Structure 1
Amino acid sequence: MLHEILLSLSGHPSPLLTADHSSPTSILSPPEKALLSSIAHLSNLHCKLLEHTATIAATHPSTICQAVATSVKTTHLAQFQRKVLEVEDGILRKDAGSVGAYNIVPLTAIVGEFSDWTRRMEWFLEIVEFMMQKTGGRTCTGAMTINRLRDAVQTGYVDIEGAALSLSKVAETAWLKQEYVNNRDLLPAFVTGPTAASLLFIGRSLNHIRVKGISTTTSPELDLLSSHLKQLSTLTFPINAAGFSRVIASIRLSLSQTTLQELLPLSKVVETLTLLREFFLLGRGEFAIALISEADDKIRSRWRRADNLGYDKRDGIGNIVVKEGEVSAILARTWAAMGSLRSQNEDQDEDDLLELARDLVQLVITKSNATPFRNSLSSSQVALKIAPTPFRNLLLSVPVVLTLRIPSPLDLFLTTMDLQTYSSINAYLLSIHRAHLRLTDLWKITALRRDHPAPPGPPYGSSTVGRSKVHTQRHRANERGAAMRSVWATSSAAIFFLGESEAYFQGEVVEGTWSGFQKWLNGGSSRPASPAGDEDDEDDEDDEDIWMRAGKEPTTSAEMRHTHDPQTLADAHRRYLLALATSLLLTTSSFTEPLFHLLQQVDHLVALVHRIHSIWQSLDLEEDQGVVDAFSDFHKEEKDVKEQLKVVADRVKLAIEELVKSLRDIDQEKEGWIDGFQELVLEDEAAYVPAKIGRVDRLLMKLDFGSWFDSRREGDPDLLGDSEGDYD
């Protein structure tokens, strides 16, 4: 019987313990049954733990869970097995602690030897089953296991506390040896958001150092790796959150003060940010104009080949398919146009930024219309969420975006998510600028704006037939002018709205936000201005490389501000993007949706104006010169297009009215845009804080349309015709 008990405790199920002893004919007494029941429970726990830990170690996707399961088996279950062997050895040696008189081994003595293990084995099984469970179809992660073990330290039982500390050390050591991606759900509770970002930055930096083969012999540490490992070895388990953050911050600072001054100088960061400002945020207006012009030329050529004149028989954006190669060709012709402009100016110096943009900037077709703009800045900041309005669809008939190829080592500072944000802002600003340009181009069609036919020369002009023809032509011109009156009025209002909006967005928001960020980059403070004397001292050191100053002892606040490491720059850059997108109202869908509708209707209106001009030219040839197109009914087309012009003009006016109303709502509900734009409460005085640039009420003060909106409600036929269009 003793042999069976010891075998069962070692993890081998025994019939003696698994048999049903409830029968009245059982040879066991009730006390013996109770004692064997406790032994059977402990044996069952051991068997389950052996099975589950083997399964986790072999199949679990988390290396942390594998490490914990292996430790349970090789350390704690091995201790239990040694305890079984100690008891067996005591019995064989007839130790008085286990063997009584007449070599009798009391069952109570054996049960008592293992009484301390029952609670621990039950807790081990809870941990193992926790690692094996699936919540909502999701497997337990290493972070969940670490958090569970850290909580178990505070249960109040000494034996459980010791076991939890032991397994926590194993789990956290395994976690420290992993390669990381920033997934908040996979981070243990003791890792804060900024610390996680620092971990990623350190990993990317060390990888760049390895790839580039940068020598560290000039560094005071001589060996970065050993120095960093020495700092990590000072950690105690379970890891303290504050201590862990201090160690990671120290390693990050060490990298910034040594090899990163060679790997990523400030000049390269500023150059990249300037490129993004000039080409993505429309700092160079000639680039935006050239890109819009080349895109429109491509669409017009496709329309001509498809015998499709645009919006005359449909609403919205057409189904003209543009391929990837054609999109790349549009950008190539844009660069050629930029180069032609520069060559015309013989006094202009070599433009290095333009050459860099040629190498890095790309125009691509996106595979999805989704807008994945959520940039996690830190746990105390609001996540950036750009409205999913598809402004990228307006430049061409397919969703295209301007993007940037990130060369190494700029990926230490610039992320793909940052570029997606830039692409979204670029599509937004470019769409507004494009609509403004297309409307102003209508005024170049002189024949539509002023057409007063002069009488023909003598002798035909003085004849009755000649005078009659002149009267007919002038009457026709007057009718056409009357038909276009509402179109010109609406187009003028749309130009006014788009022009003032562009001036606000570009002149105040983009330029003001960039100026503040640029000042901070060059060593100035983004907080309220200090006395003028301090600024003079800072200007002298604007061009100095921050990494060259990193090893020196800071003597002034200006010097302190020059020691930003790449991660600090990246965090400040994301705050800059957050403030920019928020103040551009790009995070407010109640504004972006009606704006997108307005831009669509402007495209529709422009296409119809060009179409009616083409029809009238054909009618003039037919009536005045006798040139007849037998396959076209221009009178019917004229009637259809004129009716559509009235409807679309009314839609444009409705869209402008809706946008002005949206701006008033945003101005009244300050939280709609100020909350994402508030100054950050930071302890570091040198940290970048986006300035509050621009106010919606400043834009509203300029957008005064008088009684123009009221005329639509009163149905003024001189302004908008007799028809009112639906607002989709």
Structure 2
Amino acid sequence: MIAELILLLAGHPSALFLESGKLDPAFEELLHPGEQQSLEYLSRIAGRYRTLKSSVGTLSGTSEYLSSMMAAVRVVLSEYENLVVQTEAKVLQRDDEIVASGSFVPLASLKATFSQWDGPLAALESLINHIQRLGPTNISPGSLIDLLLERSRVGVERVSEIMADLALAVQRVWQVHLTAYVVHGALSAKDPFAKTNPHQLNARMMPNCVSPDSRESIAYVGRAIATVKAARGHRSQQQQLPRSIAVMHTKMLSKVLPQDRHVFDSVIAQIRVNVSEWLWTTVLTRKDVDDALDSLANYFLLRNGEFSVALIREIERLKLSRLTPRASSRTPGISIIREQDLSLALLRASLGTSAQYDPTLSRLRFTLPTGPVRPFIPSFNANPDLSTLSVHSTSSTVDFTTTLLGMPLELGYTLAWPLDLFLTPTDLRSYTHLFAYFSSIRHTHQRVMACWSSLSNSQRMRRRWVRLGEGGDTHDGGGRRDLLRCGWGVVREMVWFLDALWAYICLDVVEGQYQRLKASLAPSGAGGGAKKQNFLLSNPGLAGLIKTIMELCEVFVATVERWGGDVLPDLLAEGSIAGGEDGGVGRMVRERAKVVQDVNETLNNLLETFYENLSGSLSSQSALGNGDATVATTFFVAGSSHNLNTTMIGGKRKTKDVHNHLATDAEVRRGAERLLLRLDFNNGFSKAGGTSRGSEGILREGGLA
């Protein structure tokens, strides 16, 4: 029986036991219950060993990571096999440790000898079963490392050691692939570290112990090295990463594992600094940086004012020529706006401006995410219902891409070598959002200014006939005068708000931060350039208010356009003068006065809410002692300020960067405070009840009442 047990423990089948591992009933009467329990205990250990032995061969060929783990499992099982061989030798040699009185082998001795493997084999069996349930092809390298590290944190020391050894074996393979990607820019055919089109990190490869910063650095360094190596025919063909740096990085990576999080993070950060400094001094020139920053600022941030105004006008002209019912009936075959039409609008807008001879203009492109724009019937009524106009939801980012064209319109930028190393699609997406935001404000501003000009022209033409009055008789003359001045007052407040907002964006946001960034990128300039968030864009509440105010301005301007460009109806128009049983002002004058009054009240409420929210944001950040929150506004949200400055300069001037960061926060906060001062120049908001005014309040502010 002892020989049978030794063979059983070595993995061979035995006639003493059933397939389930239970003792054959034929032997139960011959054995003591204690002996039966010992035999079944040894049978369970042997069964687990057989299961693991067969699973090792099955899972070894599925992937490099599972193969390395199975190789480590074989090492563990070899220790068990050595114990079986040693036990057999002791039995044959009648060793007193196993053989009692030199004549028989107690089952309790065998049970005590192999009991140390009960827990480890059970843990390994549970691990293999879990992997098989998930599917060997479905478990990713990152999740496999996480699984092994989690199972190594147990109270049984031997089990913890085995799981730690398995995790170490898998991490060694992961370490080799990481080195190939980070040092040589190479990707394995199976389980690659990154996807090449578009070039982004493979999330399946990253275990949870790798911090987000390290993941971003791995993606950055690997993409940079791979792009440099693939740049055949460019000026950087001979500018490959020096061998000395590659060898140094290989040695650094060979000494750390992702499970040692802090050490691993520091090594990855140092590698990023080294690669960034090499790229900065070798591949990327100052001219490349300046050209990219100038191009992005001029076209996405509307720093080139003459071009931006011309572009908005070209888009308006394109809408009138393609989307109006009159244009559709005249040229039914071309009553549609495609992306190529918008590209032509870019070229037309550049004529006669400084952008006409700018080579970077060819990198701009408009895209229509929802497809070509077709003619649509306007939904405006003669007297708009402002009750449907509400502040946009504050639960998500407000979309400004539909303002220019009525449909989603996005401006893109084609990156040329070597800027594609540093500016990612996510960075360019941030610039796209900023263009939509700034162009929406500029478009609305131009529309309101055009309404102001239309009212002025209508007033001059009317003065040729009615001289000093507004026409009408003694009954409706006063009503016409009040309607005209109330309309002027509404447009004046719209122009005042948009002027203040646009001046803040141009001077405090775009120009100020642009000059600060250019100075920080100078070799002798201060380092830093922290990445900011936008209070007027990333703050959903303030962005929603601005969006609603712009929509109200659009509604009012469109209403005035349908009225013929004037708030006053013609004297000879039906319903414009008093008549019938009502007496007083005419029906048309009363209707228009009601519309103007509703717009005035809605606008005042929105402006007051905007001022209160902006003041509250500043106050809350002052209480927290943090000026870099939602009120901090810069235009380099996720792109060049972080990637081309903080990333590449690295940690050489960290102490100095902290002071520069604090100085930038203070300057940004002062800019937001200047916006509040512009809005409250005449104490209209700070005084109690200053914005709760009707038509008389507008006249009084204008010195007319």
Q: What TM-score does the superposition give when structure 1 sets the normalisation length? A: 0.70
Return 5+ residue gaps in structure 1 as ranges.
309-320, 344-349, 369-384, 457-466, 527-560, 562-571, 624-634, 721-728
Contact 1:615 1:637 in 2 (8 A): no
Output the aligned Cα RMSD.
Answer: 4.6
Q: After TM superposition, give the deviation of residue 298 of structure 1 in Å.
A: 2.5
Change (3 A) 1:647 1:54: farther
Contact 2:487 2:567 in 1 (8 A): no
The question of 1:412 aligning with 2:431 is answered: no
Deviations 1:86-133 (A, max 9, x none): 545666787776667787554344334423322322332354456567
Contact 1:219 1:258 in 2 (8 A): no
Alignment of 1:33-182 (within 5 A): 33-50=36-53, 64=65, 66-67=66-67, 69-85=69-85, 87-88=87-88, 104-128=104-128, 131=131, 142-147=141-146, 149-150=148-149, 159-160=158-159, 162-176=161-175, 177=177, 179-180=193-194, 182=201
Contact 1:291 1:330 in 2 (8 A): no
Alignment of 1:300-379 (within 5 A): 300-305=320-325, 326-342=338-354, 351=357, 354-356=358-360, 358-366=361-369
The question of 1:209 aligning with 2:228 is answered: yes
How far, CA to CA, are the matches of 1:613 and 1:695 in structure 2? Answer: 40
The question of 1:289 aligning with 2:309 is answered: yes
Contact 1:591 1:662 in 2 (8 A): yes
Alignment of 1:178-197 (within 5 A): 179-180=193-194, 182=201, 187-188=206-207, 191-197=210-216
Contact 1:322 1:397 in 2 (8 A): no
Contact 1:42 1:118 in 2 (8 A): yes
In structure 1, the partner of 2:581 is: none
Contact 2:98 2:106 in 1 (8 A): yes
Deviations 1:598-650 (A, max 9, x none): 10111111111111016999968989xxxxxxxxxxx9988866654443343
In structure 2, the partner of 1:448 is: 458
Deviations 1:419-470 (A, max 9, x none): 12222222222211211111111232244333445469xxxxxxxxxx9xx9
How far, CA to CA, are the matches of 1:84 and 1:326 in structure 2? Answer: 78
Contact 1:146 1:188 in 2 (8 A): yes
How far, CA to CA, are the matches of 1:217 and 1:183 in structure 2? Answer: 29
Change (3 A) 1:202 1:238: closer
Deviations 1:55-77 (A, max 9, x none): 76577xx864x246423443323
The question of 1:511 aligning with 2:526 is answered: no
Change (3 A) 1:524 1:263: closer
Change (3 A) 1:67 1:300: same
- SS of the residue 2:546 aligns to: helix
- SS of the residue 1:115 aligns to: helix
The question of 1:424 aligning with 2:433 is answered: yes
Q: After TM superposition, give the deviation of residue 592 of structure 1 in Å.
A: 1.1
Change (3 A) 1:512 1:677: farther
How far, CA to CA, are the matches of 1:238 and 1:326 in structure 2? Answer: 50
Change (3 A) 1:278 1:322: farther
Q: After TM superposition, give the deviation of residue 45 of structure 1 in Å.
A: 2.7
How far, CA to CA, are the matches of 1:453 and 1:252 in structure 2? Answer: 71
Deviations 1:552-589 (A, max 9, x none): xxxxxxxxx6xxxxxxxxxx66x33x24x24xx32222
Question: 627, 642, 647: which is aligned to 1:674?
Answer: 627
Deviations 1:354-403 (A, max 9, x none): 321x22222222369xxxxxxxxxxxxxxxx9951111121111111222
How far, CA to CA, are the matches of 1:488 and 1:139 in structure 2? Answer: 68
In structure 2, the partner of 1:490 is: 490
Change (3 A) 1:604 1:109: same
Change (3 A) 1:106 1:710: closer
How far, CA to CA, are the matches of 1:454 and 1:638 in structure 2? Answer: 21
In structure 2, the partner of 1:502 is: 502
How far, CA to CA, are the matches of 1:26 and 1:637 in structure 2? Answer: 112
How many residue pairs were aligned?
604
Change (3 A) 1:614 1:237: closer
Contact 1:452 1:477 in 2 (8 A): no
Contact 1:386 1:586 in 2 (8 A): no
Change (3 A) 1:663 1:523: same
The question of 1:198 aligning with 2:217 is answered: yes
In structure 1, give the amino acid aligned to 2:557.
V
Contact 1:435 1:599 in 2 (8 A): yes
Change (3 A) 1:218 1:590: closer
Contact 1:90 1:98 in 2 (8 A): yes
In structure 2, the partner of 1:653 is: 604
Q: What TM-score does the superposition give when structure 2 sets the normalisation length? A: 0.72
Contact 2:149 2:164 in 1 (8 A): yes
Change (3 A) 1:21 1:139: same
Question: 247, 265, 287: which is aligned to 1:267?
Answer: 287
Deviations 1:522-544 (A, max 9, x none): 13554xxxxxxxxxxxxxxxxxx
In structure 2, give the amino acid aligned to 1:28.
L
Change (3 A) 1:666 1:198: closer
- SS of the residue 1:362 aligns to: strand
Contact 2:146 2:207 in 1 (8 A): yes
The question of 1:392 aligning with 2:409 is answered: no
Contact 1:391 1:427 in 2 (8 A): yes
How far, CA to CA, are the matches of 1:439 and 1:280 in structure 2? Answer: 22
Q: After TM superposition, give the deviation of residue 212 of structure 1 in Å.
A: 1.6
Contact 1:389 1:593 in 2 (8 A): yes
In structure 2, give the amino acid aligned to 1:363.
F
Q: After TM superposition, give the deviation of residue 83 of structure 1 in Å.
A: 4.0
Percentage of matched positions with identical amino acids? 21
